[in-house]
Amino acid sequence: MSAQVPMNMTITGCMLTFYRKTPTVVFWQWVNQSFNAVVNYSNRSGDAPITANCINIPLMRQRELQVGIPVTDEAGQRLGHSVTAAKQGIFQVVISRICMAIPAMAIPPVIMDTLEKKDFLKPGICHPAVLCPVSPEELHTSEQTGARTESPDPSANPRR
């Protein structure tokens, strides 16, 4: 359980970084779902609240869907098991997990595409808002002469 946060941060970071090509999206979704399936399987309990990611919930909660979940009254007395309550609970969790993931999966790609269209993230261009290992002198030199500085010696510039 101690690996939950660092692993999910790493996987989510990779999912947000490598979103341009379908094979990498599929790979990182598979890694995410596999990791969450292992976590959910290891943390399962018959009386525990229904927790899992949207794709893994029905798979990990098959027992609840077949047998039902415990139903109690206000005093905490167990009244029996309900398959209908299990289905309703699993459905609500699936919907909430999808809704919670939408902002994190939809907003960053829109922001990144906008920044790329405005030349904000082009190679060789440095902006104060972006951490960049370029000294101010190099930045001013490349702005004045272009991205490449040329030596006055023609033999030093093989492209000529």
Q: Which residue has the higher pLDDT, 49 or 120?
A: 120
The yes-or-no verdict on residue 51 having pLDDT over 50 is no
Residue 71 sits in the same domain as residue 132: no
What pLDDT does residue 93 have? 80
The structure's pTM equals: 0.42
Number of domains in the chain: 2
pLDDT tens digit sequence for 86-134: 999 888 888 887 787 778 777 888 887 887 787 666 666 555 555 555 5
Taking each continuous run of H as one helix and of E as one strand, the counts in the chain are: 6, 2
Residue 115 sits in the same domain as residue 79: yes
Residue 12 sits in the same domain as residue 48: yes
What pLDDT does residue 48 have? 59
Residue 50 sits in the same domain as residue 14: yes
- Distance, CA of 128 to CA of 142 (rounded, Å): 15
With a pLDDT cut of 70, the percent of the chain lying above it is 63
The yes-or-no verdict on residue 143 having pLDDT over 60 is no
Residue 51 sits in the same domain as residue 92: yes
What pLDDT does residue 39 have? 78
Lowest mean pLDDT among 24-28, 44-48, 72-76: 44-48
Give the pLDDT band of residue 84 (cuts 50, 70, 90): very high
Residue with tokens 């139903």: 71
Q: Residue 92 is part of which domain span?
A: 4-119
Task: Report the chain's terminal Cα–Cα distance, integer Å.
Answer: 61
Residue 142 sits in the same domain as residue 74: no
Residue 16 sits in the same domain as residue 38: yes
- Distance, CA of 55 to CA of 64 (rounded, Å): 16
- Distance, CA of 71 to CA of 121 (rounded, Å): 55
